[in-house]
Amino acid sequence: MAEPDEPGKKRSRVVELTEKMMVDGVTCEWAGRWNHITKFLERPGPFTHPDFEASTQSLKFLLETCKILVIGAGGLGCELLKDLALSGFRNIHVVDMDTIDVSNLNRQFLFRPKDVGQPKAKVASDYINSRVPGCCVVPHFKKIQDLDETFYRQFHIVVCGLDSIVARRWMNGMLLSLLVYEDGIINPGSIIPLIDGGTEGFKGNARVILPGMTACIDCTLELYPPQINFPMCTIATMPRLPEHCIEYVRMLLWPKETPFGDGVALDGDDPEHIQWVYQRSLERAAEFNITGVTYRLTQGVVKRIIPAVASTNAVIAAACATEVFKIASSAYVPLNNYMVFNDVDGLYTYTFEAEQKENCSACSQIPLDLHFSPSSKLQEVLDYLTESASLQMKSPAITATVKGKNKTLYLQSVASIEQRTRPNLSKTLKELELTDGQEVAVADVTTPQTMLFRLCFTS
Ligand SMILES: [Zn+2]
């Protein structure tokens, strides 16, 4: 027969533990706190790195020296911060430009209803700092683009938990720009590993990027499908899905009927707007015997909402945090280099080695060639930069040296310059006095660096 619980004994154990924490209040340590971590760092095992040497220094490095940057404090970010803090990382910075929305609360578990409207980075940091003794998370309520090279250079490892491909590419470009080349060879000290996690519904991926050494984000750009867009002919003439009907109303009816006045843009957060789109979509769907148009779906399509699944975030963040631990401790061989996860139907994971693209526009160091006829218009060059699967630029600004002078051929982001340079789009390259073999510089939001292209005239 089992002995009955002795409440007195139990309580004294709790008191004992609390006392230990109190005693070591300065260092925030208590006996056995890192037992689980030291098992990985202080004894060899079948999966340890071939060069592994058991050492107590690894834990010291994780606790005291290693500096981690987490990009994003959303679904993946909350998980990442918790995983890293509990794995012994104490010097963590987190960058996020967003504030907390009530719809985040179901999965971004560091946030509470009272936090709605507050910066995610700040609230997440405060939560971790108060909950994990000794951990110091520093928040940055900013865009990644507002921080400079000096800031990024201070980290040992960068982990991304982002939902934007543009931000990912920018971060990738930033870490590539920090590489120091000596006689064409990368100085290994200048490499900051990038661990990138991504999720979409029940699918996710985790990857390890050693900038300049292994496939970067832009090397595998073809893997990212362009934003889900339906062919216009389907939307306009032969809809089959409820989404097609909603897109029809969003793209064609809204600008035509201007239900809320001329020039009023469709606002996905305005219930009246969504209601209007919803009603018109129902009519459209009825016309084609399509079912499934709901208010919720309407808002989902208008706002391009991808349903977020908390468990997918947890899996991917855990995989990413594990990679951070492996690289920071050198105790295990890191993922090589791309893991996909999918539990839409059953559960599937697969790991493969994404290869570095020889002529990658971001990491190859080789200026790319642009092949155009002298009679091509600048608009065609612009279209190529935005539509090519391997470039997928968003709003490229094109400059070139013409007759010894630096000239902006087209720039979209500043209205006055856009207006001034717009006529250039309908001019031919010859009319713009560009010559065969000349360099053309392109700046875009997808990269912090200006990209150089070589113009090659085709006959
Ligand atoms: Zn690359």
Q: How far is the CA of 161 from the centre of ligand 1 (A)?
A: 19
* Eight-class DSSP state of 239: -
Work out the number of other CB atoms within 10 angstroms of the CB of residue 80. Answer: 31
pLDDT of 161-216, one tens digit each? Answer: 998 888 999 999 999 999 999 988 999 999 999 999 999 999 999 999 999 999 99
Q: In this predicted structure, what is the pLDDT of residue 49? A: 94
How far apart are the C-alpha atoms of 185 and 356, rounded to whole Å? 16
Q: In this predicted structure, what is the pLDDT of residue 21? A: 53
pTM for the predicted model, two decimal places: 0.82
- Asked if 424 and 373 touch (Cβ cutoff 8 Å), the reply is no
Lateral strand order in the sheet of 439-443: 368-372, 451-457, 439-443, 397-402, 405-410
Q: In this predicted structure, what is the pLDDT of residue 18? A: 57
- Asked if 319 and 341 touch (Cβ cutoff 8 Å), the reply is yes
- Asked if 315 and 187 touch (Cβ cutoff 8 Å), the reply is no
Rg value, the chain, Cα: 26
- Asked if 30 and 19 touch (Cβ cutoff 8 Å), the reply is no
How far out from the chain centre does Cα 105 lie?
20
Work out the number of other CB atoms within 10 angstroms of the CB of residue 102. Answer: 11
Region for 56 from its dihedrals, namely left if φ exceeds 0, alpha if ψ lies in -120 to 50, beta otherwise: alpha
How far out from the chain centre does Cα 319 lie?
15
Strand partners, 452: 441
Q: How far is the CA of 359 from the centre of ligand 1 (A)?
A: 8
Q: In this predicted structure, what is the pLDDT of residue 4? A: 47
- Residue % of the chain over a pLDDT of 70: 93
Instruction: List, for the chain, all residue ranges whose pLDDT scores fall below the cut of 50.
Output: 1-5, 8, 23
Q: In this predicted structure, what is the pLDDT of residue 20? A: 54
Residues with CB under 5 A from ligand 1 (ion): 216, 218-219, 360, 362-363
Residue 299: name the closest of 321, 272, 326 by CA: 272
Angle (CA) 105 107 111, round 5°? 45
Q: How far is the CA of 230 from the centre of ligand 1 (A)?
A: 29
Q: Which domains does the chain have, with CATH numbers?
A: 34-201+308-335 (3.40.50.720), 232-303 (1.10.10.520), 368-457 (3.10.290.20)
Q: In this predicted structure, what is the pLDDT of residue 325? A: 97
Kindly state the helix (H) or strand (E) to which residue 159 belongs, with its residue range.
Answer: strand 157-161
Q: In this predicted structure, what is the pLDDT of residue 226? A: 58
Q: How far is the CA of 226 from the centre of ligand 1 (A)?
A: 18
Q: How far is the CA of 100 from the centre of ligand 1 (A)?
A: 33
How far apart are the C-alpha atoms of 162 and 196, rounded to whole Å? 8
Half-sphere exposure of 54 (CA within 13 A, CB side): 8
Residue 208: name the closest of 321, 50, 80 by CA: 321
Q: Which of 233, 245, 320, 363 is catalytic?
A: 233
Q: In this predicted structure, what is the pLDDT of residue 19? A: 54
- Asked if 343 and 312 touch (Cβ cutoff 8 Å), the reply is yes
Q: Quickly list DSSP for 411-458.
A: --SSHHHHHHHGGGGGSBTTTTT--TT-EEEEE-TT-SSPEEEEEEE-
Q: Residue 78 catalytic?
A: no
